[in-house]
Structure formats: C-alpha cells, structure tokens
Amino acid sequence: MHETSLQDTTAPEGVCFGCGSRNHHGLHIKSHWHEDGVHVVAEHLPEAKYCGWPDLVYGGLIAMLVDCHSNWTAMAYHYRHEQREPGSLPRIDCVTGNLGIKFIKPTPMGMPLTLRARVDGDVGRKSRVICEVYAGDVLTAIGDSIFVRVDTSQLAAAAHGRDA
C-alpha cells in the first residue's frame, strides 16, 4: 500500500486517537481502497501495551480499530457514491451510530492485523459497515456497525451544549 491513506488525504489535521495523523500518542491507522474496489483495508501491528490476556490482543483495541477503520470505509463510500475524490470539498464526515463487535477467535499478539471493510447495502445518511479482522489468514473478529453522515460544526456545538 503505497498510495496516500484516506486519513492523510482527507483529514491530515486529524487528532483522533485511533486514526488521526496529528495525534502523537495515537495508533495512526491508515485505510486504503483495496484493488478489488469493494473493500477498504488497513493493517495494524498492536504494541505489547495493548495485551489483554497473555499473548492476546486486548478486545478494546480491536473495537477501536474496527470503529476507526469502519468509519473511514463509510466516508470513502460516500465520496465514491458522489463521484468525488477523497479530500475534495465539502468534506464528508461520519460518526459512529452503533458499534457491534463479534469476537470469533482469540487474536494473538505479535502479528499484523488486517482489517477488511465494506458498506453493506445503500450508502445513505446512515450506512452499515461490515469489518473483518484477520490475524494472518485467521478471522478473529467481525464488526457490524452503523455510521452516520454529519455536519461536524453542528456536532461539536451539540456536544458542548451550544446552539448550532
């Protein structure tokens, strides 16, 4: 994956802990369209500090990876649906409406995780994203979540109790 990530193209000023390029303490998840044109993919190698049980990845980290990567998948689909390049204005933003994670098998530490996501159904204000997490060739978790397209200025105002 040599092309610029969706995060770096669309939100280079991003401060999200999971995917923000400017968060010095964050995970710096980088999502890219897969060559199949259907899936958005990312890879992440968990650091030892994200261990849950001995030699296993902490489930909360898996949830965070699924959340951020799935959100970027929803946004990428919106750009494509509008026949626009990621990063073109006005910017498209989505937030998590519902995050669902099903843990299939224990996820081992020490190996890169591959996240493979796609929008399932229509691309609308609310979009369903399915995200699979693989450790090598082994499916270890599946995210089934809803992401909502938002106006971030209204979202920030609502979060701080101000009128939008």
- For residue 151, the domain's CATH number is 3.10.129.10
Whether residue 35 lies inside any domain: the answer is: yes
What's residue 86's pLDDT? 96
23 assigned to some structural domain = yes
| Residue 108: DSSP 8-state | B
SS3 61: helix
The position carrying tokens 């899936």 is: 39
Which letter does DSSP use for residue 51 in this model?
B
Strands 101-103 and 113-120 come out as: unpaired
**pLDDT per residue over 22-52, tens digit each?**
999 999 999 999 999 999 999 999 999 999 9
Residue 134 lies in a domain: yes
Query: What 3-state DSSP class applies to 76?
Result: helix
Average pLDDT over residues 126-147: 98
Residue 82 structural domain: 6-160
Residues 68-78 have a mean pLDDT of: 98
Residue 13: phi and psi, rounded to 5, are -90, 5
Of residues 162 and 140, which shows the higher confidence score? 140
- Return mean pLDDT, the chain: 95
5-15 pLDDT, tens digit each = 999 999 999 99
Answer whether the bond into residue 90 is a cis peptide, omega within 30°.
yes
Say how many domains are in the chain.
Answer: 1
78 lies in some domain:
yes
Helix then strand count (H, E) for the chain reads 3, 7
| 11 assigned to some structural domain | yes
In this predicted structure, the answer to whether residue 59 has a pLDDT above a threshold of 80 is yes
The pLDDT value recorded for residue 155 is 77
In a domain, 121, yes or no: yes
Cα atoms in the 13 Å half-sphere on the side-chain side of 20: 10
pLDDT score recorded for residue 24 = 95
* pLDDT band, very low/low/confident/very high, at 2 (cuts 50, 70, 90): low
Distance CA 40, CA 6 (A): 10
pLDDT score at 159: 77
Can you give the pLDDT at residue 160?
77
